[in-house]
Structure 1
Amino acid sequence: NRIYYSFRNITFVIGIIILILNLILLANKKSDKSIGSIDNASGVAILIELAKLIKKDPLNKTDVLFLWCGAEERGLWGSRQYCNKHFEEFIQDYELDKSYNINIDMVGTYIGLLDKLGLIKKKNLNDNLNDVLLASAGQQKITIKKESIKIGSGSSDHQVFRAYAKKYEKKGFQVSLFSTEDDVRYIHSKHDTPDKCSVENLNDCIETCYNAIKSLDLRVE
């Protein structure tokens, strides 16, 4: 019983800490003077350039859907509404057990890829999607830093798609997240400026994702 209550209390305390941190961040978001270079102009720009590449050279067996979600900072409302409206359509139109969600949250002073989940017991974010992305980067000698969830880390839209896949028992559906945890100190402030977004990093992320998507397309039977 003591062990049970200890874990419950620890979880409760951690939950309170995260809640307080998120409330502080929310208050900051309402009053900051950020121009949003890292968060989230970087992700928007990368998606636009990826869309251009896919349009120029369409894949043979795979549809690529590009989605820019609003209200992420207000509780992932944009992606929640989108999934609430369209996820059942995806189930009818696609094999979601063989589908992927690549969430490009932000790329700044480096390229980060979320690798592990869990504050105590770490587990992989996905089965092999990260392996494909890292292999793509490795072939082009692009450096990607593996990230893990930290206390106080914000939420991002891949979590909504992951939750809906779990709800509809699509266990093969995989998600990934590009995010730079070390750059969190800049975002939502006047320090989130264009000079923090390396053009080389942006282009490298585009190349990594583009070649990974092409590789996934070749695997479709």
Structure 2
Amino acid sequence: MKHLKNILGICLVSLFITSCGTKEIVIQAQEVDDIVTYLASDELLGRDTGSDGIDKAATYIENYFKENNVKPYFDSYRDSFTVQGKNAFNVIGYIEGTDPKLKNEFVIIGAHYDHIGFAKPVGNDSIANGANDNAAGVGTVLTMAKYFAKTKSNKRSILFTLFSAEEKGLLGSKHLAETLKAKNIDLYLMLNYEMVGVPLVGKDYTAYVTGFDKSNLAEKMNEYAGKKIAGFLPKAGEYRLFMRSDNYAFFKEFNVPCQSFSTFDFTNFDHYHKVGDESDAMDFNHMAKFVNTFLPAVKKAVNAETKEIRLNADTE
């Protein structure tokens, strides 16, 4: 009865909803459950960069992309670099845009898939499984990739990027941002998902945006969603979270809106970098609702005829 709290979401497995005469695929609780539960399992030993565990995680992500017809952007899904003499790799999927002109512009949807490996033991447990940090973000990105691969509804091209070595100092995103800058891609937007496995409490929005005042991203996402899904968390500024996740390297290289969404507000989750960050602590019904809430807004951002999301004048 491990996931009894998710039964209602799991029972929706074949559900489709009809909107504007077209069928929209709905992400189910079981889908994110499967992803997060595997990535945060003891078998992967906390997914430390350079470890056998993170290699297994990368293979899982690659297979997920293959099974859902998401192609690699480079020659393979792995974007390789080294960290302290160890091999590391981002894992990147690619869905080309459907519009002859807009497909030359890119949106990046990302999350880091590494964690810290081990932490202070509690009883016999020393594995820092990293369910919320950040298998939950990976689940969000992968299910969004599945959605766009099935619907073929993106006018702009999308890179689905899972970063390694975030916990080592944002090294994977730095490497990829520099690589893509050297290729001179036309990056419109980077949306990063960080620690979204449990819901916010007492807020009137679904997730907060780091660097809230740097762009009109929150305003446009709320407009696209038709409700307030993105909000401002004062502590995000206090702790400088905009500069402490994988969005930051892309902002530095491209000077376009590159921001993170999170539901971890320092009060609603007690297991950051601890052995208690297990899949059992996640709320998969919340996660499915989170993805389904954000997808319509992300879709409108990807398909906007012009670059409506932009930096504020004092940020550029």
Distance 1:185 1:138 in 2: 32
Residue in structure 2 matching 1:149, options 237, 243, 247: 237
Residue in structure 2 matching 1:112, options 207, 219, 238: 207
Q: How many residues align?
A: 173
Distance 1:129 1:69 in 2: 22
Distance 2:251 2:222 in 1: 21
Quote how far apart the aligned CAs of 1:55 are: 0.3
Listed one character per residue, the Cα deviations across residues 66-109 of structure 1 (whole Å, up to 9, x for unaligned) are 000000000111011111222232x3x42x3xx11000111022
> 1:177 is matched with which residue?
260
Listed one character per residue, the Cα deviations across residues 130-178 of structure 1 (whole Å, up to 9, x for unaligned) are 2232345554xx7655322233858100011111123xxxxxx212211
Does structure 1 conserve the Cα–Cα contact (< 8 Å) formed by 2:129 and 2:278? yes
Q: What is the letter of the counterpart of residue 80 of structure 1?
A: K
Q: Which runs of 5+ in 1 are unaligned?
A: 1-28, 118-122, 167-172
Q: Which runs of 5+ in 2 are unaligned?
A: 1-115, 120-126, 200-205, 307-316
> 2:181 is matched with which residue?
87
> 1:34 is matched with which residue?
128
Quote how far apart the aligned CAs of 1:184 are: 5.9
> 1:17 is matched with which residue?
none
Structure 2 SS opposite 1:124: helix
Query: How many percent of aligned residue pairs carry the same amino acid?
Result: 23
The runs of at least 4 consecutive aligned structure 1 residues that moved more than 6 Å come to none
User: In terms of mean alpha carbon deviation, does 100-109 or 203-212 score higher?
Assistant: 203-212
TM-score (norm 2): 0.49
Going from structure 1 to structure 2, the CA distance change for 1:193 and 1:143 (only over 3 Å counts) comes to farther
Distance 1:195 1:136 in 2: 33
TM-score (norm 1): 0.68
Does structure 2 conserve the Cα–Cα contact (< 8 Å) formed by 1:129 and 1:175? no
User: In terms of mean alpha carbon deviation, does 52-61 or 70-79 score higher?
Assistant: 52-61
Larger % of strand: which?
2
Quote how far apart the aligned CAs of 1:191 are: 1.7
> 2:13 is matched with which residue?
none
Going from structure 1 to structure 2, the CA distance change for 1:60 and 1:36 (only over 3 Å counts) comes to closer
Instruction: Select the structure with the greater relative contact order (CA < 8 A; seq sep ≥ 6).
Output: 1
Listed one character per residue, the Cα deviations across residues 39-67 of structure 1 (whole Å, up to 9, x for unaligned) are 01101111110000000112352111100
Aligned CA RMSD, in angstroms, stands at 2.5
Does structure 2 conserve the Cα–Cα contact (< 8 Å) formed by 1:133 and 1:208? no
